[in-house]
Amino acid sequence: MNEEIEMGAFQIIAAVGTARSCYIEAIHAAKAHDYEKAEKLIAQGDESFNQGHDAHLEMLGKEAEGDSVACLLIIHAEDQLMSAEGFKLIALELIDVYKEMEKLAK
């Protein structure tokens, strides 16, 4: 595997790892009824996720051009990308649940 592909994979892993952490922190903020912070963390997570997604699209483009980029590291990066996306969906749902619970408690 060439160094460019390896660096791209690590870029994806780092970016989406940051995104996933932001999404998890957003859940904790919502649980503490700090919805403004939760929204900011979702936005920060989205920025990081988009960086990872863009790096992934760049690799897919290289693959389409005939440059093989398939390897275990890329598979791991794609797995992390999908995992972060799942965490975002869960975070958004839980934030809504916490908001609804707070309304009902009042």
Closest CA to 17 of 42, 44, 38, 48: 48
In this structure, the dihedral spanned by the alpha carbons of residues 37, 41, 44 and 45, taken in order and rounded to 10 degrees, is -170
The DSSP element (H or E) to which 106 belongs, if any, is: none
Asked if 89 contacts 23 with a C-beta cutoff of 8 angstroms, the reply is: no
User: Is 28 in the active site?
Assistant: no
Distance of alpha carbon 2 from alpha carbon 5, whole angstroms = 6
Which of 33, 53, 56, 76 is catalytic? The answer is 76
Q: Is 54 assigned to a binding site? A: no
What span, in angstroms and rounded, lies between the C-alpha atoms of 85 and 77? 13
Active-site annotation, residues: 76
Pick out the residues of the known binding site for Mg(2+).
79
> Binding site, residues?
79
